[in-house]
Chains A and B, each alone.
Chain A
Amino acid sequence: MTRFAFPCLKLTRDYLAAAVFTAITASTSVGFAAEKINIYSHRQQVLIQPFLDAFTSKTGIETNVVYSSKGLAQRLKAEGPASPADVILTVDIARLSEYADLDLLAPVDSSILRANIPSRLRSEDNRWFGFSERARILVTSKTRVAEGAVLDLEDLAKPEWKGRICSRAGSHDYNRALVASMIAAHGEAATETWARGVVDNLARKPQGNDRSQAKAIFQGLCDVAIMNSYYYGNMKFGDKADQKEWAQAIRLVFTNQSNRGNHMNISGGGVAKHAKNKAAAIAFLEFLTEEKAQHLYGKINFEYPVNPEVSVSGELASWGRFKPDNLPIERLAALAPKAQMIIDRVGW
C-alpha cells in the first residue's frame, strides 16, 4: 500500500509545489528591474503621495503603498520574515509605539536622522523617528470669547466655560494623547479631576471630528473647542466655501505658553524589521527629514518641521511662534493606557 501511495503523494506534492511557485513568481515578478521600497502607511495616500513623488524623482527609487488606518502592525507581525514591507509610516506616537512594542522595527544607525531630528522626537534605540510635529490647540469664537480669556488647557475645567466647550470623543487618539500630556504634567488624580471638569463643561455630547468642532463654533453651539492646528489651514485653504467661513469664525490659541508649552504630537515612521531593501528604506527616512520634505509637511498639511535647521514659513509662520511642550514624545505613548482609563471613567 505504502509503496504505491508514496510516489503518488510525492508527485502530487511536486505538482502543487510547481504550480504554487509559478503563481508566486508571476505575482511578484513586477518591479524586479527598478529599485523600489514597499510602504505600509497609516497616513492617507493623498497626504504622502507628494513626498513619494519627490523621493522617486530625486533617487529613481519607486514606491509601493498599502494604506490602512488600523491593523497594519498586526499584518506585519503575521507576515513575519516573509513580509514585503520596508517602511512604516504613521501618525500619532501611539501607533509608532505599537510597532515598537511588537518588535517590528529595525534599529537604524543614521547620522543624518540623528542630526535632523531632536532626540525627544525619536526613540532612544533608534527604531522610530518623528518627521513632523502637530500642535493640538484650543480654538475660540472670535466674537464671543475675548482674546486671552483662555490661556491654558487647565482653564477648560473652570466653571466660566460651563456649556461652552465642544470636543470630539475623548478616546480618539488625539484627545487621548492630550490627556496623557496632562498626566505627565499633573499626575493621574489631578488629571482625572480636570477631565471631569471638562466633560461637565461640554456643550454637547462629544462627536464628529476636529473640523466639526470649528463648525460648531461657527454655528454658535459652543465657544471653545479642542483642535489640531493643521485643520485650521486645511479649512482656510480648502476648496469648500462653508469651511472657509468656519475658519473665519475661530481664533487659534496655543496653550500653556507661560508654563510647559503647547501639547505636541508627531507623524513618524521606521524601517521594518524584515525589510528587503533596507538601504533604500533608510534613504527614504532621511529624505523625509531634509529641507525639501520638511517644507512639504507645512505646505501640504500645515504641520511643523522637526528639523531645527528648517524654518517655519508662509501660513504656518503667520500663526505666530509658540513654545512647544518639550516632553519626550515617548512618554505620551507610555501614559496612553492610563489616559484611556481616565477617559472611560469620566465618560468623555
Chain B
Amino acid sequence: MVAAFLSNFARAQRQPVDRWSVGVILLCGLILGPVLAVLVAAFGDSGGLWSHLYDTVLGRYISNTLILMAGVGVVAIGFGVSSAWVVSRYDFTGRRILEWMLLLPAAIPAYIIAYSYTEFFEYAGPLQSGLRHLFGWQSPRDYWFPEIRSLGGAILVMASVLYPYIYMVTRIAFRLTPTSLFEIALVHNRSQFWQVGLPLARPAIMAGLALVMMEVMSDFGTVEFFAIETITLGIFNVWLGMNNLVAAAQISIVGFGFILALLGLELYARSRQQYVSSSRNQTPLAMLAPTKAGILACWAVCVIPLLFGFFIPVGVLLGLVATNDLLADFLAIRSIIGNTLIVAALAALVIMVLSAFIVVTATFRAGSKTRKLALFASTGYAFPGTILAIGVLIFTGQFDRAIAALLGAQFQGILITSIGVLFLAYIVRFQAVGYGAMISGVRRLPANMMNASRVLGQGYMDSIRRVIMPLLKSSFLAGMMLVFVDVMKELPMTLLLRPFNFDTLATYTYQFAKDEMLEVAALPALMIVLSGLVPVILMSAMLRRYR
C-alpha cells in the first residue's frame, strides 16, 4: 500500500521514483506523525463543548492571540531587521561584540524572562521603587504605571527574546546580498536599505518571522504567568479543566489553522517573486562609515533590543544569585549542565543533518509536492509543547505496537520507554528551525549552480558535497546554533517525555520558578544563558570565517 501510494505520489509529480525523494517523504511522514496524531485526536466527540466555547471564550482567545502575534511580529521585525542592517552595513566601534551579543536573548527561556520582568517592573520591583523614591510617591494610588502583566507587556517580553530568529537569518541575507546591487543604489542615490537590502532580505525575514509566529502561537509559560487568554491557554483550560482532550485538540487545530494561513500567504507571495543572483561577490562589500551621531544611532539600534532581551533579565537573575553560595550551587547542578549540553548538541546535530537532507533534496531533486510536504513538516513548531508531546506519545505508542507485532512481544514499548521518544519530540518540534535556516540559505543560491555542476559532469551526490553544501555551511551553522539553544531551553516536552531521574537546566529551573522561587531558579537559569553563550561565540566565529 505504501509502495502504491509512493508511486502514485511520484507519478503525480510526473517524475520517476527517486530514492532521495522517497527518503524525504518517509522522513517528513515520521515528523508529521505526531502532528497527525493530534489532528486525529481532534476527530473525537467533544461532547457539545463548542457551543459553550463559542458563546463564551473563543472570541477572546482568538482576538488576544491575533493581537499578540501581530504585536510580537512588528516589534520583533523592528528589533531584528534594524539591528541586522546596522551590524552588517555600518562600521562602528563595538560592532563586532554587538554582532554576536544580539543573539544572546535567544538563550533566555520565555518563562524565565516573564518571571524576571515581573520582578523588575512590578510595584515592589527596583524600577517602581526607584521612581517612588525619586518623586516621593507613597502608594500605588499616587501614580500610574503600565501593568507588565498585560497584552502589551507580553508583546514586549516575547519580542525581546524572539527577535534573534529574525536577526540571525536577516543578517546573513544582508551579508550575502551582491555588492553590485548596493553600488547601483549608491550610484542612483537611492536608499540602500529600503530599495535593495530589505526587498532582497524579505525571504529571510519571512522565514524568521514564521518561526517567531509559531513560537508565539505555542507559548504557554508567558501567557499563563501574565494571565493572557490566548488559544494556547484555552487549550489547557479545556483539557485539564474540563477533562476534555478532544476539545483541546480541536482548539489547537484552530491555532494550527492560523499557522497554515501564514505559511500559505508566504508561499503565495514568494511564488510571484524570485531573487537570484548569478554574480559572485568578488569585491567584499565596503562598510559604511557613520558620523558621530550615526554611531550613537547604531548603538541605540543594537542596545535597545539587548536591553530588553538580555541586560534587564540577566541583571535581575544576577542580583538574585549574588546572595547565594555560588560554588555549592554550581556543584549541585554540574551533572545537569552536562546532561543539557550533551542532549542539546546531539539533538541540534541530528536535526540539522535531517533538515539539510530534506531541504536540499526537496529543492534539487523532488517535485513541488514534496517541497510543500517539507514545508508542512515544519508545522510541529506551532503546537504548544505539551500538546505536541501528547501527539508524540500517541504516535510512538502506535509505532511501538507495530514494531512489537512485527518483531515480537519483547519489543513492546521499545521507543516510548527510551530516551528516543524525547529526541523524536525534539525533531518534530525543532525541524522547523533547521528547515527555516536551510531554506533561506538555499533560496539565496544562484539558480543555475546545481545545473552547472551537473553539466560539468559531477554526479548529484558530488555536486551536493562539493558545490552546494559548502555554500550552505553558514546556514547550517546558524540553524544548528538556534536549534541548540532551543533544545537547551525547551521545557514542556522535556518535562513530560524525559527518562526517570533526568533533569536538564530547563526542567531544574522550572520547578523553582514555577513557585516563584526565582532566587533558587536564578543560577540554573543563568547557566542556560551562559551555556548558550558558548555555541553563540563558537559559531559566530565560524560564521565569520565562512563569510
Q: How distant is A233 from chain B, measured CB to nearest CB, in Å?
A: 13
Contact present for A345 and B56 (CB under 8 Å): yes
Q: 12 A–B contact pairs at CB < 8 A? A: A16-B407, A21-B410, A24-B411, A66-B500, A78-B397, A94-B240, A97-B243, A169-B227, A173-B240, A205-B147, A205-B227, A337-B242
- Which residues 378-407 of B sit at the A interface, judged by CB distance below 8 A? 386, 389-390, 393-394, 396-397, 400-401, 407
Taking a contact as CB atoms closer than 8 A, the residue among B390, B407, B498 that contacts A17 in the complex is B407
Contact present for B123 and A221 (CB under 8 Å): yes
CA separation between A44 and B507, bound complex, in Å?
A: 11
| B279 beta carbon closer than 8 Å to chain A | no
Residues of the B chain whose Cβ atoms lie less than 8 Å from the Cβ of A2: none
Residue of A nearest to B416 (CB): A79
Contact present for B413 and A71 (CB under 8 Å): no
Residues of the A chain whose Cβ atoms lie less than 8 Å from the Cβ of B124: 215, 219, 242
A38 with B227, Cβ < 8 A, contacts A45-B511, A337-B244 known: no
| B286 beta carbon closer than 8 Å to chain A | no
Taking a contact as CB atoms closer than 8 A, the residue among A64, A97, A240 that contacts B500 in the complex is A64
Contact present for B397 and A80 (CB under 8 Å): yes
Contact present for B516 and A212 (CB under 8 Å): yes
A71 with B390, Cβ < 8 A, contacts A66-B499, A97-B243 known: yes
Among the stretches A81-89, A265-273, A308-316, the one at the interface with B is A81-89
Contact present for A13 and B389 (CB under 8 Å): no
Among the stretches B5-13, B104-112, B489-497, the one at the interface with A is B489-497
Q: How distant is A285 from chain B, measured CB to nearest CB, in Å?
A: 19
Q: How distant is A177 from chain B, measured CB to nearest CB, in Å?
A: 10
CA separation between A219 and B57, bound complex, in Å?
A: 31
| B226 beta carbon closer than 8 Å to chain A | yes
Taking a contact as CB atoms closer than 8 A, the residue among A69, A74, A219, A345 that contacts B245 in the complex is A74
Contact present for B241 and A340 (CB under 8 Å): yes
For the side of the interface on A, what is the size category?
Answer: 35 or more
- Which residues 113-170 of B sit at the A interface, judged by CB distance below 8 A? 123-124, 139-140, 147, 149-150
Residue of A nearest to B394 (CB): A78
| A56 beta carbon closer than 8 Å to chain B | no
CA separation between A66 and B493, bound complex, in Å?
A: 12
Known interface pairs A81-B412, A219-B140, A340-B238; 12 further A-B residue pairs with C-beta atoms within 8 A, sorted by A's residue number? A24-B414, A71-B496, A74-B393, A79-B393, A79-B417, A98-B243, A173-B241, A209-B515, A209-B516, A212-B516, A221-B123, A340-B237
| B284 beta carbon closer than 8 Å to chain A | no
Q: How distant is B400 from chain A, measured CB to nearest CB, in Å?
A: 7
Lowest 4 CB-CB distances: which A-B pairs, in order?
A82-B413, A78-B397, A64-B500, A78-B393
Most buried by A among B394, B514, B517: B517
User: B348-391 interface mask toward A, CB cutoff 8 Å, 1 = contact, 0 = none?
Assistant: 00000000000000000000000000000000000000100110
For the side of the interface on B, what is the size category?
Answer: 35 or more
CA separation between A27 and B421, bound complex, in Å?
A: 14
| B519 beta carbon closer than 8 Å to chain A | yes
| B53 beta carbon closer than 8 Å to chain A | yes
Residues of the B chain whose Cβ atoms lie less than 8 Å from the Cβ of A208: 149, 225, 227
Contact present for A44 and B511 (CB under 8 Å): yes
| A68 beta carbon closer than 8 Å to chain B | yes
Q: How distant is B241 from chain A, measured CB to nearest CB, in Å?
A: 4
User: A4-33 interface mask toward B, CB cutoff 8 Å, 1 = contact, 0 = none?
Assistant: 000000000100110011011001100000
Contact present for A27 and B418 (CB under 8 Å): yes
- Which residues 184-215 of A sit at the B interface, judged by CB distance below 8 A? 205-209, 211-212, 215
Residues of the A chain whose Cβ atoms lie less than 8 Å from the Cβ of B393: 71, 74-75, 77-79
Residues of the B chain whose Cβ atoms lie less than 8 Å from the Cβ of A336: 241-243
| A101 beta carbon closer than 8 Å to chain B | yes
CA separation between A219 and B138, bound complex, in Å?
A: 11
CA separation between A243 and B64, bound complex, in Å?
A: 33
Contact present for A67 and B242 (CB under 8 Å): no
B residues sitting closer than 8 Å to A (CB atoms) are 52-53, 55-57, 60, 123-124, 139-140, 147, 149-150, 225-227, 236-238, 240-245, 386, 389-390, 393-394, 396-397, 400-401, 407-408, 410-414, 416-419, 492, 495-502, 507, 511-512, 514-517, 519
Contact present for B514 and A44 (CB under 8 Å): yes
Residues of the A chain whose Cβ atoms lie less than 8 Å from the Cβ of B244: 337
Q: How distant is B494 from chain A, measured CB to nearest CB, in Å?
A: 9
Residues of the A chain whose Cβ atoms lie less than 8 Å from the Cβ of B139: 220
A78 with B416, Cβ < 8 A, contacts A46-B511, A211-B516 known: yes
CA separation between A20 and B150, bound complex, in Å?
A: 51
Q: How distant is A248 from chain B, measured CB to nearest CB, in Å?
A: 14
CA separation between A208 and B507, bound complex, in Å?
A: 20
CA separation between A18 and B517, bound complex, in Å?
A: 48
Most buried by B among A65, A101, A171: A171
A82 with B417, Cβ < 8 A, contacts A70-B240, A70-B386, A340-B242 known: yes
Residues of the B chain whose Cβ atoms lie less than 8 Å from the Cβ of A206: 227
Q: How distant is A281 from chain B, measured CB to nearest CB, in Å?
A: 15
Taking a contact as CB atoms closer than 8 A, the residue among B242, B390, B516 that contacts A74 in the complex is B390
Q: How distant is B234 from chain A, measured CB to nearest CB, in Å?
A: 9
Most buried by A among B243, B408, B497: B243
A207 with B226, Cβ < 8 A, contacts A71-B386, A80-B413 known: yes
Most buried by B among A24, A64, A81: A24
CA separation between A94 and B238, bound complex, in Å?
A: 13
Residues of the B chain whose Cβ atoms lie less than 8 Å from the Cβ of A27: 418-419
| A341 beta carbon closer than 8 Å to chain B | yes
Residue of B nearest to A38 (CB): B500
| A176 beta carbon closer than 8 Å to chain B | yes
CA separation between A71 and B507, bound complex, in Å?
A: 15
| A300 beta carbon closer than 8 Å to chain B | no
CA separation between A188 and B264, bound complex, in Å?
A: 45
| A72 beta carbon closer than 8 Å to chain B | yes
Contact present for B227 and A64 (CB under 8 Å): no
Contact present for A65 and B501 (CB under 8 Å): yes
CA separation between A238 and B240, bound complex, in Å?
A: 30
| A344 beta carbon closer than 8 Å to chain B | yes
Contact present for B496 and A75 (CB under 8 Å): yes
Residues of the B chain whose Cβ atoms lie less than 8 Å from the Cβ of A169: 227
Residues of the B chain whose Cβ atoms lie less than 8 Å from the Cβ of A239: 519
Residue of A nearest to B407 (CB): A17
Q: How distant is B383 from chain A, measured CB to nearest CB, in Å?
A: 13
Contact present for B411 and A20 (CB under 8 Å): yes
Residues of the A chain whose Cβ atoms lie less than 8 Å from the Cβ of B226: 207
Q: How distant is B386 from chain A, measured CB to nearest CB, in Å?
A: 5
CA separation between A78 and B416, bound complex, in Å?
A: 8
Q: How distant is B497 from chain A, measured CB to nearest CB, in Å?
A: 7
CA separation between A72 and B408, bound complex, in Å?
A: 27
CA separation between A46 and B412, bound complex, in Å?
A: 33
Residues of the B chain whose Cβ atoms lie less than 8 Å from the Cβ of A46: 511-512
Taking a contact as CB atoms closer than 8 A, the residue among B225, B397, B400, B519 that contacts A240 in the complex is B519
Residues of the A chain whose Cβ atoms lie less than 8 Å from the Cβ of B243: 94, 97-98, 101, 336-337
A67 with B413, Cβ < 8 A, contacts A97-B243, A219-B140 known: no
Residues of the B chain whose Cβ atoms lie less than 8 Å from the Cβ of A84: 417, 500
Residue of A nearest to B225 (CB): A208
CA separation between A64 and B501, bound complex, in Å?
A: 6
CA separation between A221 and B57, bound complex, in Å?
A: 27
Residues of the B chain whose Cβ atoms lie less than 8 Å from the Cβ of A44: 511, 514-515
CA separation between A33 and B237, bound complex, in Å?
A: 43
CA separation between A340 and B247, bound complex, in Å?
A: 14
Contact present for A66 and B414 (CB under 8 Å): no
A82 with B237, Cβ < 8 A, contacts A65-B500, A98-B243 known: no
Residues of the B chain whose Cβ atoms lie less than 8 Å from the Cβ of A101: 243
